[in-house]
A and B are shown apart, each in its own frame.
Chain A
Amino acid sequence: MSDKITRRNFLKIAGAGAAISAVLTGCGPMSRYIVRRPYTEMPEYNQTGLNTYYASTCRECAAGCGIIVRTKEGRAITIEGNPQHPLNRGRLCARGITAQQGLYNPDRVFGPIFQARGDTSRQARTTWDEVIPVVSDALKSPASQIAFLLGTAPDHLFDLVAEWARSNGAPAPLRYSALASFEGRSTLQEAANRTFGKPALPFFDLANAEVVFSFGANFLETWLSPVSYSSAYGDMRQARPTRRGYLVAFEARQSLTAGNADEWIPIKPGSEGLVALALARLIAEARGDDVPAAARSIDPATVAETAGIEPAKLTELARLFAASEHSLAIPGGGAICQHEGLATAQAILQLNVQVNNLGVPGGVYLTNTEQPTTSLAEVYNLVQKMNNSQVKVLFIHSANPVFELPKVLGFEEALAKVPLVISFATFPDETAMLSDYVLPDHSPLESFGYQRMLAAADRPVYSSIQPVVAPLYDTRSTADVLLAAAAAAGSPLPYTDEVDFIQQMIVPLISAGGFYTAPEIQTFWSRWLQYGGWWVTEQGLDTDISAAPSRSAAFSGPIALEEDKQFHLVVFPTQLGDGAGANRPWLQEMPDPMTTLTWNTWVEINPETADRLGIHDDDVVRVTTPYGALEASVYRYPAIRPDTIAIPFGQGHTALGRWAEGRGANPAALLPAAVNESGDLAYNDVVASIALTGKRRPLARVESREGVYGEH
């Protein structure tokens, strides 16, 4: 047979094939391959094809924004802000919007596991009936040798565990996440205590402020409550007909907040306290007030030189601050997370005192006095106790210390000395992998609960959490597990289950003057779920604030560096939060706002410095600090001091599922174990050196098309 005929034949058969496919697919719906299973019992509030909405609380960071989840046929589709919620007023950030990617993540823990510290030969799935006695035996250990490590959010689980610990003489549960450390929560609280005599997180009324000085507080991205502060930022800019708010940011690496500021003042890390005192002196002079005692010995010109900025600029800013109606100074982040962080935070808070901006719109208020987080120093004590074999049982919930804590702290080694480690993780994270048992809690979108204190709310708020979908897997609420185990251990709490506990806890709210009430708890409960929580209609901030005189402080100033050999190191959190967001593919794919980089870790370096050192974009460098080293690609970042480098936190996972694992590097390896006076990690003092490795690994950036069809 000749070639020609074969081809012809081939064409015929191909034509016939196409015709058949057309008949099969084109002429009628493929209906018979689809099966629909209607509800056996249609829920009253559900209608096929229509949306059902649930109000709940976002659990992706400790801020506690109210959310509305749109569900269809029992699936969570989209998440938006709860318009009535006093914190975020219908707004939401990228982390909350992608919470379904946590719920429906294929890498979740599907049921209770005997993890055997990662020993695969002994690992086995187990059942809840088998593990409840294990937890119950654990609770029978000597109370002082039981430790709980929970996430930062003050939620119902913390209240439950705290109550059990109180009534059984166990140490109070710790609440910690890396984010709280990067924010400087403990320092801020202690600074407020020393300045205003009340240990409460300050509330900064950004929306009504005219001039705002931010010292390291990246409130538009991660700090305390980014959604409510972003909302306030928008109002500060455009909501008032009178004057557009003016924002000045003092920090060495331009964060998103500094990028949006009208002026970015790149001061050396470690010089924030001195700059605050110099401003204090210049502001007092501009206002014709007495110069505060602490600032009398300060020479602004010398300070400007030490901080690496123009003296004239400092004077100009001080005059602006002094002349405006509502001038606000916000301390946060790296500025207060250094060895002199507490004094720095106080010096910055004192600027508000100087312009009498306390307890008035556009000024500083105080929220409630509950501890917003456990300081890192207390976590250190725990590690110490673990090392000394004084901890027999460690329970871990919504924290991932093996990943988050500085590596030099040796949490992993200390963990090995604890006889029983029980993790309640939803995901197989680094800490869960090294525990004896993983007893997965429901995902936040499958659970009941509440969150009590919201760091940036201007009134008393309880935000409610309710399941929006039925649990997907064989998971069980940790509160229920603990209640059952405590009952079996002979130290029961007076609650039948998690929901009963929550209801008993919110009973006092019925008569607490919120925006709704009810004759009894069941009616109250249904409204509580419907509205997404309970709050009061009026702003409820403490306006009666008086300040103690400023403390004199001698700041040692920034660390001296050897030029182009040593660099200040800035480690900053991103949209991945404390690293738990790394398994949400859309948070990975979302470009970092300032660099437009995705899916990886990078090292930011000023282009001038990079030129001097012969470093190009995408060159892999080795960053070394006295505490450790890592390798990552370089991003030449124009908005950073030439003597500073910066690395984002959150990548470098060795566990946590397919999207997080083996991606980037974890800067926890570079961080010190040192804490400041108030127990926050002193991460702003670190000096790093960099060296080219000769390797090159292009970063996935959105900003340019350099890599298109190219070499990546």
Chain B
Amino acid sequence: MAEVSKGIAEKWGLVVDQDRCTGCNACVVACSMENNVPFTGEDNVAFGRGTYWIYNKRMWEGTYPEVAPAFQPVMCQQCGSAPCEPVCPTFAAVHSEEEQINLQIYNRCIGTRYCANNCPYHARQFNFEDPNIPEPMNSYLNPDVTVRRRGVMEKCTFCVQRIVAGRQTASAEDRPLRDGEVTPACVAACPSDALVFGDLSDPNSRVSQMAQNERQYKLMDELGTRPKVTYLKGGGRNGG
């Protein structure tokens, strides 16, 4: 793993403060509305085919009456050394050198699902059906994001459409991007301010500062995936 030891370039990062997170799932819905994630219906969810780019992992800890859920919002961790990338036969799962995130190129994807099988975070979602959004409900679909068809893998992109738009706006105004100028939909929605997004390559950005917090940990860091998402442990919750 010589590549890993060279160190991973840092760019966009997300901090999830589990002590603030209430598990309300506003992020799930905000993400779906921004990224044209289709609703799949009761049967598909029961089959495990529901599509959630970000989902709230609810883990029970303890036994009655000292039982409490620990909530952990899990989305694509945008690994610096991503397990999904080398297994894609069509190079649809590729690494963005510019933004330092993992991409899913929908028009390349042929739906082998190797990437999803290799992802330790269950972050990748497969379209088992074409989206079924009857007229006129398709009017709210976001024109900045491709509507995926059946047979295509998809996942959280850190709202790359907002990153690119922010970058292009800043460049048109001839200035650098400001901290907090780009916010993914989940971060914008979060009612308890548990999610913070920003540039990790800037040591003064809010996200860099928060990622230094003593409560920080990375999800399954031992796998060497180098995630760009940092979790901050919940304070008083049982084991959280």
Contacts and interface: CB of A to CB of B under 8 A. Distances in A.
Quick check: do A and B touch in the complex, using CB within 8 A? yes
B61 to A, nearest CB: 10
A101 B137 contact: yes
A700 B67 CA distance: 23
Given A77-B142, A589-B39, A259 B69 contact: yes
A234 B24 contact: no
A98 B41 contact: no
B236 A91 contact: no
B33 A593 contact: no
Contact of B137 (A80, A106, A230): A106
Contacts of A221: 24
A43 B60 CA distance: 54
A712 B46 contact: yes
A93 B26 contact: yes
Interface in A72-101: 72, 75-81, 88, 90-94, 97-98, 100-101
Interface in A239-290: 244, 246, 254, 256-257, 259-262, 264-266
A262 B237 contact: yes
Given A238-B19, A256-B23, A599-B42, A106 B134 contact: yes
A234 B193 contact: yes
A638 B137 contact: no
Interface string B60-95: 100111011101000000000000000000000000
A638 to B, nearest CB: 5
Interface string B3-28: 00000000000000101101111101
Nearest to A711: B46
A314 interface: no
A435 to B, nearest CB: 25
B216 interface: no
Nearest to B135: A106
Contacts of B63: 638
Contacts of A227: 191
B58 A91 contact: no
Nearest to B19: A237
B147 to A, nearest CB: 13
A244 B235 contact: yes
A365 interface: no
A698 B46 contact: yes
Interface stretch (A375-383, A409-417, A673-681, A702-710): A702-710
B191 A226 contact: yes
Contact of A80 (B55, B68, B143, B189): B189
Contacts of A233: 20, 22, 192
B99 interface: no
Contact of B33 (A79, A235, A254, A703): A79
Contacts of A358: none
A594 interface: yes
Residue among A78, A91, A472, A596 with max Cβ neighbours from chain B (10 Å):
A78
Interface string A139-153: 000000000000000
A104 interface: yes
A557 interface: no
Interface string A213-235: 00000001100001100110111
A663 B41 CA distance: 12
A639 interface: yes
Contacts, number: 207
B191 A256 contact: no
A221 B63 CA distance: 24
B166 to A, nearest CB: 13
Given A100-B33, A256-B22, A702-B55, A588 B39 contact: yes
A608 to B, nearest CB: 7
Contact of B25 (A81, A94, A265): A94
A566 interface: no
B188 interface: yes
Nearest to B61: A638
Contacts of B200: none
Contact of A593 (B25, B41, B42): B25
A551 B135 CA distance: 59
A91 B42 contact: no
Contacts of B193: 91, 231, 234-235
A701 interface: yes
Contacts of A171: none
Interface in A287-342: 309
B160 interface: no
B64 to A, nearest CB: 6
Residue among B52, B136, B189 with max Cβ neighbours from chain A (10 Å):
B189
A81 B55 CA distance: 21
Contacts of B64: 266, 606, 608, 638-639, 642
B30 interface: yes
A707 B46 contact: yes
Given A231-B193, A701-B46, A702-B50, A256 B24 contact: yes
B67 A254 contact: yes
A590 interface: yes
Contacts of B157: none
Contacts of A234: 17, 20, 22, 191-194
Contacts of B194: 234
A262 B236 contact: yes
A600 interface: yes
A585 interface: yes
B131 to A, nearest CB: 11
A261 B23 CA distance: 12
B60 to A, nearest CB: 5
B24 A708 contact: no
A199 B68 CA distance: 36
B42 A598 contact: yes
Contacts of B135: 106
B236 to A, nearest CB: 4
Contacts of B42: 588, 598-600, 663, 700
B205 interface: no
Interface string A90-119: 111110011011011110000000000000
Nearest to A698: B46
Interface in B168-215: 185, 188-194
Contacts of B237: 260, 262
Given A78-B33, A259-B68, A590-B25, A237 B189 contact: no
The 9 closest A-B pairs by CB, nearest first: A234-B192, A230-B191, A599-B42, A700-B46, A234-B20, A700-B45, A100-B140, A712-B46, A94-B29
Given A93-B189, A586-B33, 14 more contacts: A76-B140, A94-B30, A97-B30, A234-B17, A237-B235, A238-B20, A264-B68, A309-B65, A593-B58, A699-B46, A700-B46, A702-B50, A702-B55, A708-B48
Interface of B: 17, 19-20, 22-26, 28-30, 32-34, 39-43, 45-48, 50, 52, 55-56, 58, 60, 63-65, 67-69, 71, 134-143, 185, 188-194, 235-237
24 contacts: A75-B140, A77-B141, A77-B142, A80-B189, A92-B30, A94-B25, A230-B191, A234-B194, A238-B19, A238-B235, A256-B23, A260-B237, A264-B67, A586-B33, A587-B29, A589-B50, A591-B25, A591-B55, A596-B58, A639-B67, A663-B42, A700-B46, A701-B46, A707-B47
